[in-house]
Chains A and B, each alone.
Chain A
Amino acid sequence: MRPAPALQVRRMRPIKNLLYASLQAPPSDMTPAHQPPNEPARLQALRALLILDTPPEERFDRIVAFAASEFDMPIALVSLVDGHRQWFKSRVGLADCETPRDVSFCAHTILASALFIVEDALLDSRFADNPLVTGAPNIRFYAGAPLHAPGGERVGTLCLLDQRPRTLDAIERAILGTLCRLVEEQLAHPVAS
């Protein structure tokens, strides 16, 4: 177990302070995702999209809002996995715009082309003591579809999170995959279509 780093606290509104403190809590026995073998090219592709740290855009927000509604999920995100963080281009149900990469579920999702689903994080040794599971936002269910840059690099995810165990059936998986492709189309076209 690695030693616990000092808790970082920023000056924020009280409710965000609580969430931020949780997001910054030290990992314990959880399993951070390893880096993809093409990490330098992946990061280059991500940054070439010129989307990191840009303002919210309706073309992404529509898709994320649709996903949250369609699946009755309290949290839905377009998450882009940067070098040391995941940054949310669009988000429903989460106040913060980024979290550290080493506690990120999405960092696992970008390791393969398939959907990555954790039906109950408390029963999964990779995530059971993840601070996002043990504290706010208390993730129990995660489903992420990897987002590909135009060159094929997996730069992030469209993901759904719930605070209770869930499953996705075949139709729901197909819907999530289709929504993911809609996001990819928007990523490939910097001007709103």
Chain B
Amino acid sequence: MSSTETVLPKLLVVEPDFMLRSIIIGVVREMGLAQPQEALSVERAEQALAEGHFDAVLIALNEDGATVKLLERLRGGHFVCPAETLVAVTAQHCDADMALRLRELDVRRLLLKPFKVKGVIETIGGLFTAPAATA
């Protein structure tokens, strides 16, 4: 890599659906938005966060609460990955209590399914450009 080459931010994509995950990863890579790494489950994500640094995480909200627990551990500084890492969440459903909890966990964006991949890509781009956002 040359000294003038831009270093892309690192993005962890946690999404159980293979096709959706593959498309997001492919588009992020093709557009040069970030260096994406994929994880198909919260367990795999935990391992990735424990081992490396990420600038942002896009994670699907797990119905059994595992995603929230993971974010609590991230914000609590339990991983190698910095506690202040940018986070966006995708979800099938989200009630007011969950939205409040995600806000407390400093989730920058919440995307409710069904959504367009284009919206996800715009969200990822926005994570790296906008200093503040709403859940």
Q: Residues of A with Cβ closer than 8 Å to B?
A: 62-63, 66, 70, 170-172, 174-175, 177-179, 181-182
Contact = CB atoms under 8 A, between A and B. Distances in A.
B113 interface: no
Q: How many B residues touch the partner, as a band?
A: 10 to 19
Nearest to B118: A171
Given A70-B116, A70-B117, A70-B118, A174 B19 contact: no
B118 A63 contact: no
A160 to B, nearest CB: 14
B22 A171 contact: no
B30 A178 contact: yes
Contacts of B118: 70, 171-172, 175
Interface in B81-135: 116-118, 121-122
Given A170-B31, A181-B26, A175 B117 contact: yes
Contact of B23 (A170, A172, A182): A182
Contacts of B23: 66, 175, 178-179, 182
A104 B96 CA distance: 51
A164 to B, nearest CB: 19
Determine chain B's interface SS by DSSP, over half rule. helix
Contact of B30 (A62, A63, A177): A177
A174 B25 CA distance: 11
Contacts of A177: 26, 30
A79 B36 CA distance: 30
Contact of B31 (A70, A174, A181): A174
Contacts of A178: 22-23, 26-27, 30
B26 A171 contact: no
Contact of B19 (A66, A170, A171, A172): A66
A175 B26 CA distance: 8
11 contacts: A63-B19, A66-B19, A171-B121, A172-B118, A174-B30, A175-B27, A178-B23, A178-B26, A179-B23, A182-B19, A182-B22
Q: Which 8 A-B pairs have the closest CB atoms?
A: A178-B26, A174-B27, A174-B30, A174-B31, A171-B118, A178-B27, A171-B121, A178-B23
Contacts of B27: 171, 174-175, 178
Interface in B1-60: 19, 22-23, 26-27, 30-31
A62 B22 CA distance: 13
